[in-house]
A and B are shown apart, each in its own frame.
Chain A
Amino acid sequence: AQSVTQLDSQVPVFEEAPVELRCNYSSSVSVYLFWYVQYPNQGLQLLLKYLSGSTLVESINGFEAEFNKSQTSFHLRKPSVHISDTAEYFCAVSEEGGADGLTFGKGTHLIIQP
């Protein structure tokens, strides 16, 4: 069965600084990887996903994530953050051919400081 670890529960950064939110997974087979964003008192929204092909995937609002099979990682990055990026970010994994569906990490709270 798969598992996912988000090591940082909170990440404070200054506005316009770069940020990286870390995600590591564990699985013995090929995986699909997702990042979701949750704004206060709302549900989760899909930010980006890796299914196959290019290991670098991008979102429409400037985030990107790179699938690294050897490191079993799928870290989320943005070169310059804005106040509006303040939110909770969840990494999720599912296995190709697996029966367990999506497994979510515990989330990372991104705090943007002016």
Chain B
Amino acid sequence: DGGITQSPKYLFRKEGQNVTLSCEQNLNHDAMYWYRQDPGQGLRLIYYSQIVNDFQKGDIAEGYSVSREKKESFPLTVTSAQKNPTAFYLCASSRLRQGNQPQHFGDGTRLSIL
């Protein structure tokens, strides 16, 4: 079955530490996205990528970094500069970013601070 795999499901970060969240898709989608979800705030876009080796900042990119070295993979690094990283992180993909293409989501990674 095609889909999106996020790992780990739960992640704990110590103060001053960078952590990386994994996102892999086998849907052959060109576009991939990272969202942050906090209670009552819906989904906020962190970064997106429409093609390999290219990515764009979303609405809340500060304190985060990404890479897109392969079409299938779009890892997100939460850096020590992100002062409030506790949240549920969702990765998504779609054939294209624009128009009538729905996004497909992974099951998320819940990040907490130790």
Interface residues of A (CB under 8 A from B): 9, 32, 34, 36, 41-46, 49, 51, 90, 94, 96-102, 104-107
Contact = CB atoms under 8 A, between A and B. Distances in A.
Contact of B97 (A36, A97, A101): A101
Given A102-B94, A102-B102, 12 more contacts: A41-B110, A43-B92, A43-B105, A43-B108, A44-B90, A44-B103, A51-B100, A96-B100, A97-B99, A101-B97, A102-B103, A105-B42
Interface of B: 4, 6, 31, 33, 40-43, 48, 90, 92, 94, 97-108, 110
A36 B90 CA distance: 14
A107 B48 CA distance: 21
Contacts, number: 59
Given A90-B42, A106-B42, A45 B108 contact: no
A94 B42 contact: no
A80 B6 CA distance: 34
A43 B110 CA distance: 11
A94 B105 contact: no
B41 A106 contact: yes
Given A41-B110, A42-B108, A43-B108, A106 B40 contact: yes
A114 B18 CA distance: 45
Contact of A43 (B31, B41, B101, B107): B107
Contact of B104 (A46, A51, A90, A105): A46
A112 B99 CA distance: 34
Given A41-B110, A44-B90, A49-B102, A104 B97 contact: no
Contacts of A102: 94, 102-103
Nearest to A43: B105
A105 B103 CA distance: 14
